Amino acid sequence: MSLKTNPGNYFEDFRLSQEIVHATPRTVTEGDVALYTALFGSRFAVTSSDQFAADLGLLRAPVDSLLAFHIVFGKTVPDISLNAIANLGYASGRFGQPVYPGDTLSTTSTVLGLRQNKDGKTGVVYVRSVGVNQRGEMVVDYIRWVMVRKRDLNAPAPETHAPELPAAVEAGELAVPFDLHAKPYDTARAGSPHLWEDYQIGERIDHIDAMTVEEAEHMMATRLYQNTARVHFNQHVEQDGRFGRRIVYGGHIISLARTLSFNGLANALNVAAINGGRHISPIFAGDTVYAWSEILDTIALPGRTDIGALRIRTVAAKDRSCHDFPYQDAEGKYDPAVVLDFDYTVLMPRRA
């Protein structure tokens, strides 16, 4: 049997502080942007209009923050999560330089922690992945942890080490590429009159709209990011798996939820940070995704009067509208409809 193919890393293959250079740099194109829009229908003005973006001090319309995230994430899959059972969570995610069509992205990862599970069949791997552009400038830097199968159940368990993770990215760590001093911000073109000062801590917003996930679309999206995880593509194998069918890439639901959040948060210019996040339960083709958001914090940025930040929790639910904000009960158990609990920070214009 040839040894030239890559079976992916199993839990016992990872080592603490191991550095992994991921294959296949990716040049982002206008076609990627058009396909991302076709898949999710995002309407945020700054990523839709070159002129609108230029009025905010950018070169042109940047790539959606989450498209950049997915491309960087996709590079890591063959080495980190090809043999994963589930991607468990995110933390300490920061977005740096805006990404434009023509930029080339590449990714490296460092193993931060390892913990074998009690069943001895799987373990949790914590990694920090950093995506950079062709100039070596950081575009995305985040931590995630993933449950990975063991190849050899008799392989000794590594010493347990779980990294300490911050609850949120600090205001001083947020990259702010926008400059709103040159021209008044056009709320009519942006699609909402509501700016940073109009949001209150504890406020909840039902985004009302919904999208049904189609089989072809979620697989096309995952291929767009060059994510090779078998659980998203191989029905021949997955028919004998836990669910009997392919599961939708969790990032697909993050992008859907962000797109739905336009109705209520249209002036959120970009995702500046990922503070934390969990995929609560799987999504399958045919499920319909709704979302609601809660304002966790309103953050004044050091030295800036034109831009503020909102820390937001967006919760996505399947096959259930969110007018009553499904979340957790008194014991912390999630409502059965909840599929995503995503804590992130966006930048938003302030009133002049």
pLDDT digits (tens, 9 = 90+) for 58-84: 999 999 999 999 999 999 999 999 988
d(CA 58, CA 183) in angstroms, rounded, equals: 13
Q: Let me know how long the chain is.
A: 352
pLDDT reading at 267 higher than 80: yes
d(CA 150, CA 153) in angstroms, rounded, equals: 6
Whole-model pTM? Answer: 0.95
Q: If we measure between CA atoms, which residue out of 77, 129, 128, 71 comes closest to residue 99?
A: 71
Query: pLDDT band for position 2 (50/70/90)?
Result: low
Residue ranges and CATH numbers for the domains of the chain are 11-151+170-180+191-349 (3.10.129.10)
Query: pLDDT band for position 182 (50/70/90)?
Result: low
Is the separation of the CB atoms in 316 and 337 below 8 Å?
Answer: no
Query: pLDDT band for position 1 (50/70/90)?
Result: low
- The pLDDT of residue 352: 77
Q: What is the mean pLDDT of the chain?
A: 95
Query: Tokens 């007018």 sit at which residue?
Result: 323
The total of other beta-carbon atoms located within 10 Å of residue 228's CB is: 16
- The pLDDT of residue 116: 95
Backbone phi and psi for residue 347, each to the nearest 5 degrees, phi listed first = -100, 140
Is the separation of the CB atoms in 8 and 82 below 8 Å?
Answer: yes
